[in-house]
């Protein structure tokens, strides 16, 4: 039986668990077997906790307190999932991708993990991430590099790269992740999975020091939109540990996706009115894919909000974020922190309060422009990334549109601009380039408009049918010589 279970969708697996056609232990063994088969090729889940998972499964099967969330939206009934290695799981090695924490084993789980486990999610292991989640390619000094299953010579993106690969290959059915400048969206684009950056406050961030920042959020990844909606239902809701959280919606995201409403007017832009660089293959594939919303009966128009000096705004806010998180570590353990993090943190230490004030004013102005934009349009569609997946040995693409990057964040505009705007966004597959590399779109919705966003993504996914290609066996390949 376990030879085929990993191919099921999460929604199907949960339905069968609820009917007791399967047990959580059946799925754990199927997951463990699949992990053993594919991990040598991809390195997505470097830390496993199989005995802990089996113990949790037995508690669920016994009922009682382990099933107190049964019947709630997002009940997973014993479904195996992965947790990003930035996020604590009690009793499980959690390194944050850093040599500083290489042997760290937390005594208590992060609130989002507690919520996932309370709702019947079973943690199989920790997914690989760049050091402290900083970077668009998943590698670190503790566990090494995670590889793209479509071509193992290429990156899976970052920073939720291990999570994306774990669902793309069928190691687990759902993956937890985080997103600051595209960390749930870029790995989705590179691996042909789906990942949503929810509105700030939708999912608890629990124990972070940046509790009052809206830049970084937690969220789900999956193989298809219905599975994604299910896991967002699992995660969402008020949390007393996070002052920005709010109650879950009265109508679940799964219910919204089951009865999708088509967006009436869709704005599309491949390059933010010519202000963003991207490779020619991505421009061609995404340009054609965007127009396919017309096949759903939508009015599709070329239009983009005015993003203003969004790169400078994002970096000013990001640098301050790094100061809050890393200033003290830099003083004490600088030699164990990678240069990109040192660079970001020191930029923050050097910038003035006036510069931060300017960034906050610009962020507020962009939010107001987005609100006005969404009074006309129901959905905004962009490329999911400016390039397809690049060499796994690089920390960032060497060039975008033929021009060298100024820094490792230089290719993040398409995602980081949406972060600054305060809108939720989802990555959905839209095709492949001439080298067979996945290409995706980024669908952007109104603030707190995740239900409508997921509905649009579901309709588009059903039109293309690319989700049916997953899960896949890892494939060896070579790095394309040109873009």
Instruction: Pick the closest to residue 148 from 125, 124, 128, 126 (CA basis).
Output: 128
- Check 31, 98, 137, 159 and give the catalytic one: 159
Of 31, 82, 84, 119, which is the active-site residue?
Answer: 84
Chain centre distance of CA 136: 12
Q: Pairing mode, if any, of strands 144-145 and 217-222? A: unpaired
d(CA 57, CA 72): 18
With CA atoms as reference, report the closest residue to 195 among 415, 482, 422, 6.
415
Question: What CA–CA distances, in Å, run from 254 to 58, 72, 152, 158, 439?
Answer: 27, 12, 33, 27, 26
Is 159 assigned a catalytic role? yes
Q: Is 183 one of the annotated active-site residues of the chain?
A: yes
Tokens of 215: 């830049």
CA distance 84 to 323: 22
DSSP alpha helix (H) spans, 43-185: 50-62, 111-118, 161-168
Pick the catalytic residue from 82, 109, 127, 183.
183
Classify burial at 207, counting beta carbons within 10 Å of its beta carbon; exposed 0-12, middle 13-18, buried 19 or more: middle
Is residue 354 annotated as a catalytic residue, yes or no?
A: no
Interacting residues of 409 by C-beta distance below 8 A, sequence separation 6+: 136, 181, 315, 318, 396, 416
Strand-strand pairing, 194-197 and 217-222: antiparallel
Q: 302 — phi, psi (to 5°)?
A: -75, 115
State the catalytic residues: 84, 159, 183
């Amino acid at each position: 039986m376990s030879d085929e279970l990993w191919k099921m969708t999460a929604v199907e697996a949960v339905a069968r668990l609820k009917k007791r056609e399967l047990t959580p232990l059946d799925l754990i063994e199927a997951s463990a077997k699949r992990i053993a088969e594919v991990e040598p090729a991809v390195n997505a889940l470097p830390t496993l906790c199989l005995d802990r998972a089996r113990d949790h499964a037995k508690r669920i099967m016994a009922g009682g307190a382990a099933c107190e969330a049964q019947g709630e939206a997002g009940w997973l009934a014993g479904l195996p999932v992965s947790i990003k290695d930035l996020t604590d799981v009690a009793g499980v090695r959690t390194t944050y991708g850093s040599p500083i924490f290489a042997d760290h084993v937390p005594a208590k789980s992060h609130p989002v993990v507690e919520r996932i486990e309370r709702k019947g999610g079973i943690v199989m292991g920790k997914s690989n991430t760049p050091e402290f989640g900083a970077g668009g390619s998943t590698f670190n000094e503790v566990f090494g590099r995670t590889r793209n299953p479509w071509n193992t010579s290429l990156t899976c993106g970052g920073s939720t790269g291990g999570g994306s690969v774990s669902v793309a290959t069928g190691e687990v059915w759902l993956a937890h992740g985080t997103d600051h400048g595209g960390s749930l969206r870029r790995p989705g684009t590179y691996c042909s999975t789906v990942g949503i950056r929810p509105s700030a406050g939708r999912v608890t961030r629990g124990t972070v020091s940046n509790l009052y920042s809206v830049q970084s959020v937690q969220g789900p990844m999956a193989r298809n939109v219905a599975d994604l909606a299910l896991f967002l239902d699992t995660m969402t809701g008020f949390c007393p540990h996070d002052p920005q959280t709010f109650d879950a919606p009265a109508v679940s995201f799964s219910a919204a996706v089951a009865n999708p409403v088509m967006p009436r007017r869709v704005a599309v832009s491949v390059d933010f009115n010519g202000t963003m660089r991207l490779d020619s293959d991505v421009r061609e594939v995404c340009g054609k894919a965007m127009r396919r919303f017309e096949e759903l009966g939508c009015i599709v128009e070329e239009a983009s909000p005015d993003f203003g000096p969004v790169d400078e705004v994002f970096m000013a806010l990001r640098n301050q974020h790094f100061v809050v998180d890393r200033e003290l570590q830099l003083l004490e353990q600088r030699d164990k922190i990678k240069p990109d993090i040192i660079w970001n943190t020191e930029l923050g230490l050097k910038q003035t309060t006036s510069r931060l004030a300017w960034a906050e004013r610009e962020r507020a102005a962009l939010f107001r422009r987005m609100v006005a934009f969404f009074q006309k349009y129901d959905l905004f569609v962009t490329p999911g990334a400016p390039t397809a997946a690049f060499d796994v040995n690089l920390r960032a693409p060497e060039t975008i549109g033929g021009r060298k990057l100024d820094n490792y964040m230089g290719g993040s505009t398409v995602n980081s601009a949406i972060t600054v705007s305060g809108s939720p966004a989802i990555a959905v597959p839209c095709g492949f380039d001439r080298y067979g590399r996945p290409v995706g779109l980024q669908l952007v919705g109104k603030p707190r408009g995740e239900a409508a966003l997921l509905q649009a993504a579901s309709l588009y996914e059903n039109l293309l049918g690319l989700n049916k290609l997953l899960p896949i066996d890892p494939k060896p390949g070579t790095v394309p010589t040109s873009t």
